[in-house]
A and B are shown apart, each in its own frame.
Chain A
């Protein structure tokens, strides 16, 4: 730009000077012609010679004066201007860079509530890539924040408000709404969000843990204490009774241990439920490995596990490998218990399927469903059906009565309390699966028909590369 400006200046200067030069020559010629004609000078060549000298002198002057001299001051003005602009752009870039680099969501709104700028954290927060020029209310449903924006536009000082975003995982946030520019009449409003979900969850976790622990541990503890009293008392010299009571006490203690470890892992999962995992896991390989490792145990209970891969050999999902294994293991454990509960006398069968898209539905027309459907999950993610992988665990046991289905994933809920106690269930298995699925942005769908078994399906969002390949 600088080059063209200075050359424009030079050319203009040249044009003006050429015109001036020609005019000066013409005027001189005119004057000398008048002098020549008036006869004031006798020799005719004298004015001609004078004109030639004049023209030559002017020419020298014309050549010598470089047009640079003309351009320089202008260029100087330009330089300072451009320098100032550059500095301003640098400052803007810095500000923009800071906004972009902020790990927490930041929105800059105009006075009517339209988004002018949003940083990547904000885009991730509302899971949408196109935020600019959209209205704030259509991006974030938090009326309290929008009220605060309006108040700030009307000249109020910075407002701080708490709000909740509902969804499959609730999020608790604090919003700082600050005017940008003149405080009494701001031209923009800055909305800065802080996700306090983790803090709230820690608080809730503590309360829940104490509540569940005191609720569920009380019974086995009381029973253990009762047996200890008996052992110290009248069973003191009865080795047979001692043997029996110690066996029961061991079973109760083991139950408490399982309960505590399940409660711990549930708390851990719940704590991070709002943070999506980032690793890529091959669902096929992970499931297969798990099945191989549990086979020796299930074979003891006369249950055969069959593994089917309904699609290509690799199903890459975004997941936390340990949690996936835990979820599938819980489902297989459940299925093994239920498979044995049916009327069949032959070896019971559990099928595990891994695939992409919609999982096969329950064949029975009386089957009842509970949990998230694949279209619901896809709708929340704004993707297509093939962007989800699934693992389905199907048993052919007694099935779950319809009226028990809705409460199935509730913690400590057991369809059959006696049977659950006998087989060592804690009543937390499905609750754990559900929370793991929530964390993965997936869902658990349960279909069951009495007498025809139950199928549990976990849907997981696929890793981006494979989801694109599938399209």
Chain B
């Protein structure tokens, strides 16, 4: 067994990979906490999520700086260059997902003050689905699993579909009872945030695909967001 001190602290590309997986883990935990806080109406947990977002931002900055310094100091070959570029892109996506988690946490206290309606459980289910997509794509990146990345890319339509249904439900609930307008508006935004998380997961899947093959993931990605054109008549 090699002495632990014989190994130098990882830097360069290896260090960057560790930092990005740390950032991924942190973002996933934030999203999970935000979802749990929303589900259980746990305002203290929501507060924690809002505070912890700083760490993701810090890591994002650190990753960007390290990537730039690697590009400046080392002669990088094509594959390493690809890896660094992917890292920068994924870090940006993760940062956005962190912001979405924070936004959900921000809305949680407002929603917690409103009566519980059936739309909430739908939003929670959708949140779980998008979290699963996000976890899957992080797994795909960590284990360099091309098939899993493609599967994530292809499965986003389900979240879109859930969002469509929830949007309609929210509209109907609002029309039925104007007292629910506050709750439903915020719920629609939370659902939209989860839908965006799903989109970021597909973006990361595209990055993983590019990292592993050098090609862009092209073709028709199943898309199903219909909320911009949805209207419910009385």
Contact = CB atoms under 8 A, between A and B. Distances in A.
Interface of A: 110-114, 116-117, 128, 135, 137-138, 141-144, 146, 163-164, 166-168, 187-188, 368-373, 375-376, 378-380, 382, 402-403, 405-407, 410
Interface in B1-59: 1, 3-5, 7, 9-10, 17-18, 21-22, 24-26, 28-29, 32
A376 B5 contact: no
Q: Lowest 5 CB-CB distances: which A-B pairs, in order? A: A379-B148, A110-B4, A375-B151, A141-B25, A376-B151
Nearest to A372: B155
6 contacts: A128-B143, A138-B21, A141-B24, A369-B157, A369-B158, A370-B161
A407 B123 CA distance: 11
Contact of A142 (B1, B25, B132, B162): B25
B147 A379 contact: yes
Contacts of A112: 4, 7, 9-10
A378 B151 contact: yes
A116 B125 contact: no
A141 B165 contact: no
Contacts of B112: none
Interface stretch (B74-82, B134-142, B192-200, B212-220): B134-142
Contact of B148 (A167, A376, A407): A376
Given A135-B18, A187-B4, A379 B161 contact: no
B116 to A, nearest CB: 12
A375 to B, nearest CB: 4
Given A143-B29, A166-B135, A379-B140, A403 B168 contact: yes
A167 B137 CA distance: 11
Contacts of B108: none
Nearest to A110: B4
A270 B158 CA distance: 24
B222 to A, nearest CB: 9
A376 to B, nearest CB: 4
B225 interface: no
B161 A405 contact: yes
Given A164-B32, A376-B155, 7 more contacts: A141-B138, A143-B25, A143-B26, A146-B22, A168-B132, A410-B121, A410-B125
Nearest to B163: A406
Contact of B158 (A114, A137, A188, A406): A406
Interface of B: 1, 3-5, 7, 9-10, 17-18, 21-22, 24-26, 28-29, 32, 121-122, 125-126, 131-132, 135-136, 138-140, 142-143, 145, 147-152, 154-155, 157-158, 161-162, 164-165, 168
Contacts of B25: 137, 141-143, 146
A375 B148 contact: yes
Nearest to A141: B25
Given A166-B32, A406-B122, A187 B3 contact: yes
A172 B152 CA distance: 25
B4 A382 contact: no
A453 to B, nearest CB: 19
- Tell which of B3, B18, B152 has the most Cβ of chain A within 10 Å: B18
Nearest to A407: B122
A376 B18 contact: no
B26 A376 contact: no
Nearest to B134: A166
Given A138-B17, A406-B158, A116 B132 contact: no
A2 to B, nearest CB: 25
A144 B55 CA distance: 12
Contacts of B22: 137, 143, 146
Nearest to B19: A137
Contacts of A405: 161
A168 B148 CA distance: 14
A368 B161 contact: yes
Contacts of B143: 128, 382
Nearest to B132: A168
B153 to A, nearest CB: 10
A125 B142 CA distance: 16
Contacts of B145: 379, 382
A406 B149 CA distance: 23
Contact of B132 (A111, A114, A167): A167
B162 A114 contact: no
A406 B148 CA distance: 22
A182 to B, nearest CB: 12
A116 B4 contact: yes
Contacts of A128: 143
B130 to A, nearest CB: 11
Given A111-B4, A112-B7, A141-B25, A376 B136 contact: yes
Contacts of A137: 18, 21-22, 25
Contacts of B164: 403
A461 to B, nearest CB: 15
B129 to A, nearest CB: 9
Most buried by A among B4, B140, B164: B4
Contacts of B161: 368, 370, 402, 405-406
Nearest to B148: A379
Nearest to A187: B4
B146 to A, nearest CB: 9
A112 B140 CA distance: 24
Contacts of A368: 161
A406 B169 CA distance: 12
Contact of B125 (A142, A146, A164, A406): A406
A187 B1 CA distance: 12
A253 B125 CA distance: 32
A406 B224 CA distance: 13
Contact of B7 (A110, A143, A379, A382): A110
Nearest to A163: B29
Contacts of B140: 379
A57 B232 CA distance: 123
A407 B32 contact: no
